[in-house]
Amino acid sequence: MDLLTPAGSETCKPLYSSQCDLLHIDASYTAGFKDLAENSIISSLYHTYEAALQPKSFGLKYVAEGLESYWFRGKKYQVSGGKYLLVNESVPVVDVRIASAATLGMCVNIEAELLTDVLFQLLHPDDIDSFENLPRYLLSPEILVREAMAGKQLQVLLNKLISCAVSGSYGAPASELIFELVCILVQENLEFINAYYRLKTARLTTRRELFQRLLIGKEMLEESLFTGTSMKQVADTCCLSEFRFYRLFRQAFQVSPYHYLLQKRIEKSLELNKQGLRWSEIAYLLNFTDLAAFSKAFKKVTGVPPSGYSF
């Protein structure tokens, strides 16, 4: 018996393919994607492009330079330089468009089972025998649909993979490249993943549903920086009582909804100040009652008043 085979078992069946294709495409590419491996790394350079995509597993859409627009579930996502979008088979069709601008990007297709394996090893490092009996998804696939700015480590790797695909040369097997990518991607989204597991519910279906509602509320807070949206309005949108929304939000994200919104407003104020706006203008735009109220909130978050802040 092989030393790596658990006692009393047959040879382990692979959970996912060890093959990974890596290629670069542009307007001259006509071969199609039917014969691509389930794990694939595809860099692209287009000035104009339109397509309707049908995710079959887990996909990462990254833009190094330019802008890609995506539409699904009635919402538009603008993915610009340094950002990425996660999609999967829970989204039947994704419409994508590149319009009149050189756009360098990357699409990475990842088997859901590979993502689950990486996530399981991270969450349960001492469990060495359960990997053969894992579900296709540890997280509800609907939750794994999100847009984010790539962290420094992830950006460096994605840009490196684009260079590898363009040149056609890389110093390691393509499968190892995608293993490294998935590890960094999971690490970068660990706080998001941990928030899901912090929800204390007796049933998995309840946790999934509540987390989905919290994400709706979190997004609504992020989009209400310039408005007077109340917490009751946010809770109502999530179909939760105001207290339950507060309790669950704090449980998952370890900050109250009010303080989360306050942090986001102060972050936006710094961004606006960098653009040349005065603090008094910013206080008005961010819906503070006056400059004094804004200064008090600013100091609460940053530790110093606006006049004493240095970038």
Confidence of residue 130 (pLDDT cuts 50, 70, 90): low
Q: Is the pLDDT of residue 19 over 90?
A: no
CB distance 238 to 225 below 8 Å: no
User: How wide is the angle at C-alpha 220 spanned by C-alphas 214 and 226, nearest 5°?
Assistant: 150
* Range 260-308: architecture per CATH: Orthogonal Bundle (1.10)
Among the listed residues 189, 195, 262, the one whose alpha carbon sits nearest the alpha carbon of residue 224 = 262
Instruction: Report which DSSP code applies to 31.
Output: S
| Domain range annotation of the chain | 20-190, 199-254, 260-308
Instruction: Give percent of the chain above pLDDT 70.
Output: 91
Q: Is the pLDDT of residue 258 over 50?
A: yes
- Name residue 158's beta-bridge partners: none
Q: 3-class SS at 213?
A: helix
Q: Which CATH number does 20-190 carry?
A: 2.60.120.280
Global pTM reads 0.79
**113 against 138, higher pLDDT:** 113
Other C-beta atoms within 10 Å of 144: how many?
21
Q: How distant is the alpha carbon of residue 164 from its chain centre?
A: 23
Q: What's the confidence (pLDDT) of residue 13?
A: 57
Among the listed residues 285, 215, 290, the one whose alpha carbon sits nearest the alpha carbon of residue 245 = 215
The pLDDT tens digits for 91-107 are 899 999 999 789 999 99
